[in-house]
Amino acid sequence: MIHSTKELVNTEIERVNPMDFTQRLSFLKHHEGELRLLIDMIEEFIVLKDGSGKWILANKKVIDTYCLASISYQGKTDLELAELIPELEEKFIDNYQSDEEAWYYGSSFKMEKSLFDQHGVEHTWEVIKTPVFDDEGNRSHLIIVSRNITDRKKSEELLYQRERKFRVITENMKDIILLVNSDGFIQYASPSYEKILGITPELLKRENILTQVHPNDVSDIQERLDKVSIRKTLEHKFELRLIDANKQYRWFEANCSCVKKQSGVLEYIILAAREISERKQYEHRLEKMAYQDYLTKIPNRRSLMESLPNLIKDAEENEKLLAIAYLDLDFFKQINDTYGHEIGDRLLALYVKRIENNLRETDKIARVGGDEFIITIEALNSKEEAVKIISRLCESLKEPWKIDDEHMLLTTSSMGVSLYPTDDTDIEALLNKADIALYAAKNNGRGQYQFYSKATCHIKNSNTKTTS
């Protein structure tokens, strides 16, 4: 009758204390068949040795691997077995040396070693050697349990190679890779983060990605993270700004996707971002060119026409007047013809600078043609206030123009002014009436300003021809 493992263990516990080594060996021999059946079913290596290193018990796995079936191994040490089985001499000597290390340390000793099976296939084993001492501190016996970890080692090696490839890629890529959890906290940042933004990835761990994003982008990024987290969808090509080590924000174009566990639960959100700061700067320059005069660097006609509706709206809401002044340089064509376009361009630059110096900070100037400009004067309480500003400006433009040491020009500027809402409420109508007033100023001798009136309208309609 075969006893259960529990019965054997209980019996051993009850008997082991009073027994000396001979009695223990007798107990093992008495139950050898039962123990053999149990331990031979175990895939691990199991070896029991006494305090002097003599083999007491080994399971079938060990016996087959060490070719012990044909000899009487019990009661022999590893050094004696090495003489009996010369082809495994190195293995037995290694066993002896590692046994001594376990006894020396006095506690469980773990190591790895390689063995070839009967088919010549190499296997890696994890060996745990546990020394047991008696009450007087003398060596009692050594329990050795080894398990085959070949598959695990292969998996670890495969994982290492994959991680190595991933590391090589991430360390050399120009894109930034971030792994964040569903709450937006950063779990991983690629080495490229430091190369591009100057911030060590370790400092970002457990930081929320929203703390690295421009305040104006926070709500958009939060919405996108929520969408990916809840719907498990892919977010294609969106733009955001990330802060760098110098507290400057840099533009990135990013994709956002999710990694799910086998259960379908979200594990990570992957954010891959490529810097586009140079592209954004180029786009900004293009946009600036579309709304800025290339010569004088002030707003152009397009910019003016887009800003006028807001100026009209502000004037209406605040119950203020808005003055629109149309002005140009007198005799500019003759100056260009006489001195050339380079001198004419430099005169225009000086003209703009002098106008800006005589306007308030809230007033704006735009170039709408060759030597034609429009000024908007906001938040006026009365026409008299506009007259004061325009009059001062007109007088300042009569001063000589020093282009360089060789060119000192004398010319003036003519201006025509319309008022919102006094003269009209329509933008095109206000511009047209300022233009009519400008014609009247020129017909009256130039170097002066005129506000729109029905009389100035009569002058324009008379088709009187004037030159700049």
- The residues spanned by each domain of the chain are 5-150, 173-280, 292-461
Strand partners for 376: 324, 364
State the pLDDT confidence band at 11, using cuts at 50, 70 and 90: very low
Instruction: Of 303, 400, 305, 392, give the one whose Cα is nearest residue 351.
Output: 400
Q: What is the spatial distance between Cα 226 and Cα 183, in angstroms, rounded to a whole number?
A: 9
Strand partners for 364: 376
**How large is the average pLDDT for residues 421-427?**
96
Whether the per-residue pLDDT at 303 is higher than 70: the answer is yes
343-352, 356-365, 455-464, range with the lowest pLDDT? 455-464
**How large is the average pLDDT for residues 23-34?**
66
Q: What is the spatial distance between Cα 447 and Cα 270, in angstroms, rounded to a whole number?
A: 67
- What integer best gives the mean pLDDT of the chain? 86
For the chain, how many residues are written?
468
Q: Tell me: domain 173-280, CATH 3.40.50.150, correct?
A: no
pLDDT by residue (tens digit) across 158-217? 887 777 766 666 666 678 989 998 888 999 998 889 989 999 988 898 899 999 999 999
Neighbours of 420 (CB within 10 A): 23
pLDDT of the residue at 465: 46
**How large is the average pLDDT for residues 86-98?**
91
Q: How far is CA 274 from CA 175, 177, 178, 211, 294, in A?
A: 5, 9, 12, 19, 32
pLDDT of the residue at 233: 64
Whether the per-residue pLDDT at 6 is higher than 80: the answer is no
Q: Do 242 and 227 touch, CB atoms closer than 8 A?
A: no
pLDDT of the residue at 157: 80
Do domains 5-150 and 292-461 share one topology? The answer is: no
pLDDT of the residue at 457: 65
pLDDT by residue (tens digit) across 391-422? 999 999 999 999 998 899 999 999 999 999 99
Most confident of 16-30, 117-131, 353-367: 353-367
76-80, 190-194, 229-233, range with the lowest pLDDT? 229-233
Whether the per-residue pLDDT at 357 is higher than 70: the answer is yes
DSSP annotation string for 118-158: TTS-EEEEEEEEEEEE-TTS-EEEEEEEEEE-HHHHHHHHH
Taking the alpha carbons at both ends of the chain, their separation in whole angstroms is: 126
Neighbours of 95 (CB within 10 A): 25
Q: How far is CA 131 from CA 73, 87, 136, in A?
A: 20, 28, 14
Residue 443: phi and psi, rounded to 5, are -70, -20
pLDDT by residue (tens digit) across 119-166? 778 888 889 999 999 999 999 999 999 888 888 888 888 887 777 766
Q: Is 359 helix (H, G, I), strand (E, B) or coil?
A: coil
Q: How far is CA 222 from CA 240, 247, 388, in A?
A: 11, 21, 52
Where is 435: in which H helix or E strand?
helix 427-443
For domain 292-461, give the CATH number. Answer: 3.30.70.270
Residues contacting residue 393 through CB under 8 Å, at least 6 positions apart: 355, 358, 359, 375, 415
33-42, 64-73, 146-155, range with the lowest pLDDT? 33-42
Residue 304: phi and psi, rounded to 5, are -60, -45
At the second CATH level, the architecture of 5-150 is 2-Layer Sandwich (3.30)
Whether the per-residue pLDDT at 458 is higher than 70: the answer is no
pLDDT of the residue at 261: 79
| Structure tokens, 75 | 């009661």
